[in-house]
Structure 1
Amino acid sequence: MKKCLLALCLLIARPVIAQDIVLTRNILDTLSSKTMWGRGYTNNGLAKAADFISTTFQAYGLKPLDGTSFKQPFSFPVNTFPGSMNLKINGKALVPGKDFIVMPQSIGKTASGKLEQKDSTVFVAANEGFVVLLKDKLTWSVSTQLADYTGIEVQKNAIGQPETIELDIAQHFITDFKADNVCALVKGTHKPDSLVVFTAHYDHLGGMGSNTYFPGANDNASGVSFLLSMAKHYAAHPPAYSMAFICFAGEEAGLLGSKYFTEHPPVELRKIRFLINLDMVGTGETGITVVNAPLHPREFTLLNTINDEHQYLAKINPRGKTANSDHYYFSEKGVPAFFIYTTGGIRAYHDVYDLPSTLPFTAYEDLFKLLTTFNQQLMK
């Protein structure tokens, strides 16, 4: 009888756990979709993502962090590539994103010429003002500055020895690009003036030309999906402390959204008991890494104690202070913070192969349990 009851309980429990995964994957697919266009700076991708997140917060029953609006607007300069993105080397047409990327600081150009070899991987056409670099892996980024040349990175195995080049690249520098941090709150039941905060950047690289976008599934649709699942959980089960959920823009451009937030905080930063930043949490075969672990030994020990007791994750790896995600400016302001990312699994990063279909979400359920238990212990 006991075995039958146990089996029945497991069958009943499974859909509840699975629903979290279904919810997360649906959000992940939406944020990584062509409609969002890489959550960047062309085709209104970033604004569409901000609207989706704020609408989701509202649907879950959260309130604006500042009491008025889910969105915190700010602006910054950014270089964009909204149109033509055509390249031929040695007469062979190359595919944007797969065979080549344009360096993000580049100016647009329509030109052709002969290439002069400078070393084993660098080729230039000095009179035309462009440079070609051969790369083993293409890794794109975002630039807030504009160079006086056009740079192209080409996948080594896509071509032979580069000799001639033809290109037609459209580029537009925006001096005052409008963006929003998206911020929401679940009010605490006993200590509403104390906050536990979850953050994740929702921006990615956007599009390169009119036909190529960077989905950014692991970086960082995974973190936003996890954060929104946490937001839904706490909206339905308000804890003692208030829970804030912040999705930042401008991370890929230099942590600009989190920097702006800490300089213009809608809540007093001293009221934050602890902050957990989530970035690239779509894997987890080998566990998680916790940045700032040595700065907060009590909280890091608590994480490990919970994990040792329940065996949620394979390993929790400590890492020191580093300015590699949105926790950084909070730490600089004296806010206790961890930055957590999962380890193992796929290696796609800042490329067109960071797709939702590649993410196993190996540690999703267990990381969710670990962090909710951690929050519970933290609030005692």
Structure 2
Amino acid sequence: MILYSPPPALVALVQSSVKPVDLHNARLIGDKVITQENLRDYLTFIASDALQGRDTPSQGLDVAAQFIAFHLKRFGVKPGGDDGTYFQKIPMVKTGFDEAKSSLSLGEAPVRFGEGFAIDRGQGSATGELVVIASELGTTDVTGKVVLLGVQASDAASSQALAAGAVAVLRSSTNQTWWRRQAVQTNRRAFWRMERTPTPEPPAAAPVVTLSPEASAQFLESAGKSVAVSVVAKIERIYTQNVVGIVEGVDQKLKSEYVAIGAHYDHVGTGGRGTDTIFNGADDDGSGTVAILSIAEAAAKARSKRSLLFVWHTGEEKGMQGSGYFVDKPTVPLAQITAQLNIDMIGRSKPAGDTKPSNRDLSGPDAIYVIGTTMMSTELGKLILSTNANYLKLNYDPKYDAPDDPNRFFYRSDHYSYAKKGIPVCFWFDGVHEDYHQVGDEVSKIDFAKMEKITRTVFLTAINIANLTERPKVDKPLNR
């Protein structure tokens, strides 16, 4: 079989003859593609236990990224990440402690990490005679000594002892529950963050550790003995990723501009108490993740004048790290992004008769909070409202659509990273509920009928913006 490959000039000619979709046909495509069944299928995987809560970074998050990329390729959505892929790689770094190499001994007897001591801070080794300080340092000479502080010592006593010449500090404890928490938290205090600039090696610093109640009792009776302590810091590095796809516009002049549509596909991982320890994040933000996946599928069949840029942001739960990285190192020219539409939690509804205080501000089955319509662009705000009014007529609740909202929701999700760069934005949000950041945020509690309506409406909103003759003007200063 001889495969025919058309010349580039012919391909360009055919593409230039494609007309942008009108709103009527966009509705037909959206209603066919964006369905409760598809949303449920996608979300059942994204919010499954197999993905272990999609923490940033984690294997579960990486699997979610591959899942999204697989479907984008299936839909015919172009890669918009690095090097012709769907992934924008983001370097992450964590500075913690090497538990295996850190050590403590009393005389010749070693004390095991996690059983007898936990690390507070430091980098380096020290050996010295043990001096016990019950509460305040006073006039005790601690030069060249290892100081053991009693439980009555103030928080400032460690720094005071080191300033007075101590080579290391041991803190004692008597509460077993508190101690176990301290031991477990030693490396959890270290967290992954974006490595924007090279992280320097940890500087040398005197070791400070906390003893278990059993070790505290032993050391308190060992004044004058030799103590050796070593704290070894370590730097770990890994990559995570945003997922980026592009549906090219068909207008030869406007296709270089983009309407961005985003959601965060990460959640908070594991750690819940009881038998269920996985924070599945079905609503937060599994709902937004699969909503824009369905919008991408519909957009690939309903081409608009401008291009549509889809970004699944990582690390929103860690301080909007993925969206912050994208706007600082965009894979398309940032000045060419005309608007950003963010979906973060659209899957829950307040049941009729629900009087729980934790669900007080949860929106109903036909309602959703829209945030940003009044904040930056009058023109964009009017278009967002009119699209809804002319289609499914959802109750667009403006309760949080104000810079003086005490919850500051406008400033708490990924759209704000774009807003700070002068890009007009809008944010769809169902409201805080009883399962917000809880293990109960499960697929079984999602209102897929509501999700379907909101997703279809956001799709048409994006098409309307993408087909504008002129990009929406920013005519209001951004309040920060």
TM-score of the two chains, using structure 2 as the length reference? 0.56
Is the CA contact 2:367–2:397 (under 8 Å) kept in the aligned structure 1?
yes
CA distance in 1, matches of 2:339, 2:416: 13
1:365 aligns with 2:365: no
Q: Deviations over 1:238-291 (max 9, x none)?
A: 111101110011111111111111111111111111110111111352622222
Distance 1:337 1:109, change over 3 A: farther
Structure 1 equivalent of residue 401 of structure 2: 319
Question: Partners in 2 of 1:148 and 1:231 — Cα distance?
Answer: 52
2:57–2:240 CA contact under 8 A, matched in 1 = no
Q: Which range moves more in the overlay, 264-273 or 357-366?
A: 357-366
Superposed CA deviations along residues 22-45 of structure 1, whole A, max 9, x for unmatched, are 111111010111211111258611
Match of 1:137 in 2: none
Q: Which of residues 37, 45, 64 is equivalent to 2:79?
A: 64
Larger radius of gyration: 2
Tell me which protein shows more strand as a share of its residues: 1
Alignment partner, residue 302 of structure 1: 383
Q: Aligned AA for 1:144?
A: F
Please tell me whether the aligned partners of residues 193 and 241 of structure 1 are also in contact (alpha carbons under 8 angstroms): yes
**Structure 1 counterpart of 2:330:** 265
Q: 2:427 aligned with 1:339, yes or no?
A: yes
- The CA deviation at 1:340 is 1.6
Q: For residues 431 and 396 of structure 2, what CA distance do their matches in structure 1 show?
A: 9
The equivalent residue for 1:158 is none
- Specify the code of the residue in structure 1 equivalent to 2:382: T
Quick check: 1:292 aligned with 2:379?
no
Per-residue deviation at 1:370? Answer: 2.3
2:464, 2:296 → 1: CA distance?
18
User: 2:321 maps to what in 1?
Assistant: 256
> Taking structure 1 as reference, are residues 311 and 175 closer, same or farther at Cα in structure 2, changes over 3 Å only?
same
Helix, strand or coil at the partner of 1:315: strand
Is the 2:276–2:439 Cα contact (8 Å) retained in structure 1? no
Q: Secondary structure at the match of 1:206?
A: coil
Judge conservation of contact 2:281–2:442 (CA < 8 Å) in 1: yes
Q: Which amino acid aligns with 1:72?
A: Q
Could you list the per-position Cα deviations for residues 311-347 of structure 1 after superposition, in whole angstroms to 9, with x for gaps in the alignment? Answer: 5212332513532011111111111111221248x53
Query: What residue number does 1:122 align with?
Result: none
1:1-380 matches, within 5 Å, as 20-40=35-55, 44-66=59-81, 68-77=84-93, 109-110=114-115, 126-127=173-174, 131=178, 144=191, 175-190=236-251, 191-208=254-271, 212-283=277-348, 285=364, 287-293=367-373, 294-317=375-398, 318-321=400-403, 322-343=410-431, 347-378=434-465, 379-380=467-468
For structure 1, the 5+ residue unaligned runs are 1-12, 81-107, 117-124, 133-140, 151-171
**Could you tell me how far 1:145 is from its partner in structure 2?**
7.2
Give the secondary-structure state (helix, strand or coil) at the position aligned to 2:316: coil
| Percent of aligned positions that are identical | 26
Are the counterparts in 1 of residues 341 and 425 from structure 2 also a CA contact under 8 Å? yes
Displacement over 6 Å in runs of 4+: 145-150
Between the aligned partners of 1:364 and 1:145, the Cα distance in structure 2 is 32
In the TM superposition, what is the alpha-carbon distance from 1:309 to its structure 2 partner? 3.6
SS of equivalent to 2:53: helix
For 1:91, the equivalent position in structure 2 comes to none
Q: Is the 8 A contact 1:196 1:273 kept in 2?
A: yes
Root-mean-square deviation (CA), in Å? 3.6
Go from structure 1 to structure 2 and tell me whether the alpha carbon gap of 1:254 and 1:131 turns closer, same or farther (over 3 Å shift): farther
Counterpart of 1:319, as a letter, is D
**Amino acid in structure 2 at the alignment position of 1:188:** G
Q: CA deviation at 1:363?
A: 2.4
Count of residue pairs brought into register by the alignment: 300
How many Å apart are 1:109 and its aligned residue? Answer: 4.7
**Aligned 8 A contact 2:259 2:308 in 1:** yes
Alpha-carbon distance between aligned partners in 1 of 2:73 and 2:33, rounded to the nearest angstrom: 23
Contact 1:200/1:223, CA 8 A, preserved across alignment = yes
Q: Does the 8 Å CA contact 1:76/1:144 hold for their aligned counterparts?
A: no
- 1:262–1:19 CA distance, 2 compared to 1 (3 A): closer
CA positional deviation for 1:18: 8.6
Instruction: Determine the C-alpha separation between the residues in 1 that align with 2:368 and 2:413.
Output: 15
